[in-house]
Each structure stands twice: as structure tokens, then as C-alpha cells.
Structure 1
Amino acid sequence: MQIPCSIHITNEECSGLYPINWKITNRPCLVVGGGRIACRKSAGLLQAGAAVTVIAPEAEPPVHEWAGQGKIQWIQRSYNKGDAGHFDLVVSACGNRGTALQIAQDTKGKNILWNAADYPEMGSCTLPARFCRGSLMITVSTEGHSPALSREICRRLEEEIPPLYGEWLDRLSSLRQEMKTAVKNPADREKFWHQAFSRDISALVNAGNLKEAEARIRYAISRFRSKS
């Protein structure tokens, strides 16, 4: 059974940015700066499992705590030429333009991503605001123009998407495997899932009735298989 192809390219500009989720566990990442913004960036990297090094002559209490616990390496000095060379990702948040220019030179032409939180127009990538519901990650980006707006939109979405969506995603993962076993044609599976997320199912999930929502989708899978 063929389904219409809905893939299209819009004329809406995205300034050359492309979203991607990067598996960063144990990857060496450098945060330059020890202030509030640098701490927030470090916390996000630690949460994702990165191997974090902080370079800053002074730092907020969380950096002291993490270093004391062995969670990060803290090099207690200013950034020096070439410091970025051994890292996969560099985040600069020290507010020093001279340092940013040096990092630009140190990362140019190398396989190093650079997020310039202090001078976003200079970096090679931006880091969106985000929150998680289990394996469900919601991100919001303003391309570095207004991090505060990104966080505010994230806060609103966080209020609208309840924590139980993490559990619902786990259930959907199992249902997806059942569907792949039951229906071999990828186009048919795509059509099924397009129809499966009805308002009734969404209402059940939002009401916390995950068991009933799961049962209805499982029943729909059995009916879809019998018609295929």
C-alpha cells in the first residue's frame, strides 16, 4: 500500500543550522569560564555523560564541588593558546573577546565543535535549551539570539508535557518492535503510526491512562496486521 510522500523543502530560512543529537558520553569537552553560564553549560555536559574540563582562574561553588568530587577536571588559570586542541567540544563562557578570538584560531580547520556562549556569532554551533521526559528530549533554539527566550519556551513546554510521557515513550518503544514484527512493509508501518496517534490516544495519555492507551494501540496493530 502506497502512501503520499509528505517530504518537502520550505522557503523558510534557518540560517544554515541543522539540529542533531550527539552521543557525547566520555567525549572530552572543555568549558572556558567559571561563572553562572559556564556552570550551567558544565552541568548539562555532565548530565549527558561527557568528560568535562573547566579552565577558569576563579569559579562558582558548583565547579569547586564537582572538582572535589572528581566529576570534572578544573584547571585554575586563564585560557592559553592551544588549550582547545585535545577536545571534541569547546564551550566558551568567560566574556573575554580576546579569549574567544584565540579559541577561534585554535579550533579553525579542526574537528572541534565550538559553542561561544559569550559571543554566539563567532562559534560553530549553538546549544539549545532542553528538558527531558525519560528518553524524550525537547529542545528549543533561538540560534543564540536570545537564550532567555529559549529557556522560557522550554519552561512553558515543560509545564504542558507531563513526566509520564517518559513512561509512555518506553511503552511505545515496545509497541514499535511488535509492529515491526507484525508488519514488514515500512510504508505500511508509517501509515499505521500516522493514524495511531489520534486525539483519543493523546487524551488517554494526558489523563495518565497509559495502560488503556497501550491496549488500544496493540489492538489496532492486530487489526492492521489482519488487513495487510
Structure 2
Amino acid sequence: MQHLPLFAQLKDRAVLVVGGGAVAERRVTLLREAGAAVTVVAPALSPRLTELAAAGLIHHVPEPYTGQPLEPYWLVVAATDDGAVNAAVAAAATAAKRFVNVVDDHALCTFVMPAIVDRSPVTIAIGSSGLSPVLARWIKGVVETVLPARLGALAELAGRWRQRVRSQIADPDERRHFWERVVTSAVAEHAFAGREADAERALDDALASWADDDAARRGEAYLVGAGPGGIDLITIRGRQLLASADVVLYDRLVSAELLRYARRDAELICVGKTPRRPSISQRQLNRLLVSLVKSGKRVCRLKGGDPFVFGRGGEELEALAEAGLKFQVVPGVSAAEGCAAYAGIPLTLRGVAHAVLFTTGHTRDDGQPIVGEFEAGRTLALYMGVAQYAEIAAALIAKGYPPETPAAVVESGTTDRQRVVRTVVGRLGEAQAALGITPPALLIVGETTRYADRYSWFAPSKVERFAEASIGDDARVSYRENSNKAAP
């Protein structure tokens, strides 16, 4: 974050604009909408600024800027067409410790003017650190289409009722839960439609019934799939629940960028397990989850991939159900689906692979990896077990997989660190050691891994080979026949 977003209270406060042309006029208009007392220093004014000065709505100093004192002003704007004058204004403002905006020269700015979505009293500011005003305006247009035109009416209603709600709901977490329900209820719909009296009555009813609504006030758990790594692969519902949670219990592989979607005052607790290092046990985690929900907290259990695909989501749901607690489950893009898609490897492909099996590289009690019998036309997606790739390869061969069966390892899939290693089952252990493959990684075994070169789209420069030939032209997919030729 290059700039800290702030909202300035400028009502009746002095602001200086240096320049009297069209650009200065736009700045003056915006500042006046915020209630500022604007002084314009310029030899001449645009027609609109001339009208404002004549009406006494701005103060005009009809002279060029020559170093006039800036101490009386809260903010300064340099909006002339003379770069030397703008630089002098910026230098003087910096010396006087006044924030300054220099039009079209973000290097001299100590504050920038954002694109604004105005649903007063709700204001949304969108900035690009001065680098691309056009992009900021485009984002503004997107936001404008999403927000209700009368969003401000709901904010004003909440403001009128804020003290009354505070007096009746003393606990701050419970009070926030109440308002979260209000903004998605009939109260909001009435406000957006202009039915103010109906909105007032609905809010009165909601507050009156809150104390008796145990279901609304109880804690709840959200088991949310965070996706395979890329922060934009979490679902909309998952992001919504993450943003509303009081506590977030997150896995080790959940990125710090994704955790920024949580509330600033949310408690973030890492409960991830690290191989061969002390970690919280599943039983301890279950107890923590249950105790937090019982205390009335809304807890987001944020899991990599999908909660129900090697995520122990079922064990955590059982603990919640046994305790009689509320929960929701939000599916996520599984590691197998995400890594395969970003590596350009179809998990199934007509005429090449008709089935896919998800399994894990963790071993049984006797130390042997858990793998099934070889089945032609089936893709194997194997989670975890990177350190045991040599043992896994031996187990696969023992189950009938030919040593030359193509395989691919997707390391840190869907992130900017993604790497794809193509090899064969018989050389899998060697590839892991020679190329330094480390977790998190997903192993995919089967004929469709040969397509990683042709279909690679996300990070094609990071596809490596170890004892594996590149894909040939005869691996192209054709749907004119019932089967496709596997890549050589």
C-alpha cells in the first residue's frame, strides 16, 4: 500500500488552489462539495470560477503565485500549466508541512485525489497512487453499477438508531452481529426503495426481537475452502464469511494476502500442521473450535483447497454436531482441480482418461504408501508425501504401473511460485531429489500429464522435464472419433 486512505473533514476549513483553468475548476468543485472554504490564486479564472468568485462562493486572489504563505491552509492544490510554478508550490507546502496535490505530477504529491463513488454519507474513494487515473475511473464505474442508488439512506437510518441500539445491546460483538443482519434484511430493502417509514418499523421490530432470538445471537462455525493457493480462487461466499468472522482459524498454507480479507479486529490463529515439527493436534483443534463457537463467536475455519478433500472437514463437523452447534460449509477449489487446471493437465480427457482418483501420499502404520492397483485410463492425483516420492514410485510400480508411466508434479500450484516438473513414475524419486521439489506439491500420474506443454498457460516458462520427452504433434485432441491418441 503506497498511500494511506484518509477522509478529510474540510467543512469551513481553508484550502488553497493555485491555478484558474479547467483543471483547477474541477478541483475547486470537488473541494466545495466537501464544504471547504476555497481560495484560488491565479491571474485569471475560467468562466465558471469567475461566477463562483462573483457570488462570493470562493475567494479569488488575482495574481500569480509568488511564494505567498501557506500556513493558513489545511490543504494545497497546484493546478497550473506551468511546471516550475507547480514545483514551487509543492516545495513551499512541504516546508510548511501542508499536504499538497500537484495535478499530473504524482511524484510531487503528498496526497492524491481519488475517483469517488458518492452515496452520501457513504463515500468510496478509489486510487491508483496517481499512476493511472483512467484505471481508477474504470473501477469507479464498476462499483457504481453494483451499489444501490439509495445506499446513503440506509447509512442515515443506521446513524439515527446507533445510540438506541448501543443502549439495548451492550456487547460490541453481539451489536455488530445485529447490524450485519440489518444490512441484509428487509430493513435495507425498504431503505433502498425509499420506504423510510417501513424501514423504521422493520428496524424497530428487529431490535425488539433481538434479545429473544437465541438463534441469531449464538456463535457459528464456517468451514471455508480457501482454494489451492491463488488468492482470487476463493469463492465469493467464502470471502463474505471470512470478512464477517470474529475469529479465523487458518491452515499453514493459507496466504497472508488472503487473510487481509478478514476484519481488522478479527483474531487470527494459525492451526496449521507442519511436517515433522510440533503442531496442534486435530483433537486440540476440534476442542478450540467448539469452545470458541460456544462462547458466541463466529469462527471461520479457513482450509486450503476444499474442506472435504483431505482437509479433515468431516472430523471438525462431527465435533460441532456433537456439541449441538451451528455451522456452514463453503466448498473450495480443491488442490487437484486447481493445480491441474493451472498446469494445463486435464484430469479426464475423452479417449485418454475416463476417471480420476484422489489419494494421499501419507503412509500406513507399516510405512507403506496407500496406492491402488493400476487401471488404464485413470488419472491419479496424489496429495502430500513429497518426501516419500521414491517410496510412492516403488509402491505404484508394485501395483502394476509401468515405470515409464508419465507423471507431473505441480509445486506451489496457482501461485506466482508455480513450477511443473514432468517425469515418469520410475524416475520420480530421482526427480524430487535432483530438482529440489518441496511442499506444497501435487503429484499427477497418467497419460494426460503429457499435455502439460501444449496446454500450459499460466507459467509456461516454469515447466521442467526430468527423463521425459516433450509432447508431439500427434497428441492433439480430436473429437471426430471416439478416442484420442495419447502424447508419445
Quick one: distance in 2 between partners of 1:192 and 1:150? 34
Residue 116 in structure 1 maps to residue 102 in structure 2: yes
* Root-mean-square deviation over aligned CA pairs: 2.5
Instruction: State the shift of 1:210 in Å.
Output: 5.1
Alignment correspondent of 1:193: 179
What's the CA shift string for 1:162-210, capped at 9, x where partnerless?
Answer: 4422222222222322211211121221222233333666555555555
Query: After the TM superposition, which of the residue ranges 199-208 and 162-171 deviates more from structure 2?
Result: 199-208
Q: 1:197–1:122: structure 2 CA closer, same or farther, 3 Å change rule?
A: same
What's the CA shift string for 1:53-74, capped at 9, x where partnerless?
Answer: 1112232111111111111121
Unaligned segments of structure 1, at least 5 residues? 1-13
Matching of residues 1-228 of structure 1 within 5 Å? 14-15=1-2, 17-198=3-184, 205-209=191-195, 211-226=197-212, 227=214
Percent of pairs with identical residues? 27
Q: 1:27–1:203: structure 2 CA closer, same or farther, 3 Å change rule?
A: closer
Any conservation in 1 of the 2:182–2:188 contact (CA below 8 Å)? no
Runs (4+) of structure 1 exceeding 6 A deviation are none
Please state which structure has a larger fraction of its residues in helix: 1
Name the SS for the 2:107 alignment partner. coil
Any conservation in 1 of the 2:186–2:202 contact (CA below 8 Å)? no
Name the SS for the 1:86 alignment partner. coil
Any conservation in 2 of the 1:28–1:52 contact (CA below 8 Å)? yes
Quick one: distance in 1 between partners of 2:194 and 2:160? 18
Quick one: distance in 2 between partners of 1:199 and 1:121? 46
- Normalising by structure 2, report the TM-score: 0.40
Name the SS for the 1:91 alignment partner. strand
Instruction: State the shift of 1:40 in Å.
Output: 0.7
- Normalising by structure 1, report the TM-score: 0.81
Quick one: distance in 2 between partners of 1:57 and 1:174? 47
Any conservation in 2 of the 1:88–1:111 contact (CA below 8 Å)? no
Query: After the TM superposition, which of the residue ranges 141-150 and 201-210 deviates more from structure 2?
Result: 201-210
Pick the structure with greater CA Rg.
2
Any conservation in 1 of the 2:100–2:111 contact (CA below 8 Å)? yes
Query: After the TM superposition, which of the residue ranges 148-157 and 92-101 deviates more from structure 2?
Result: 148-157
Instruction: State the shift of 1:214 in Å.
Output: 4.4
What's the CA shift string for 1:133-189, capped at 9, x where partnerless?
Answer: 332222221221222333343344334434422222222222322211211121221
Unaligned segments of structure 2, at least 5 residues? 218-488
Any conservation in 1 of the 2:114–2:125 contact (CA below 8 Å)? yes
Aligned length: 214
Quick one: distance in 2 between partners of 1:33 and 1:19? 26
Quick one: distance in 2 between partners of 1:110 and 1:116? 16
Quick one: distance in 2 between partners of 1:90 and 1:41? 11
The higher-RCO structure (CA 8 Å, 6+ apart) is 1
Any conservation in 2 of the 1:29–1:89 contact (CA below 8 Å)? yes
Counterpart of 2:21 in structure 1: which amino acid? G
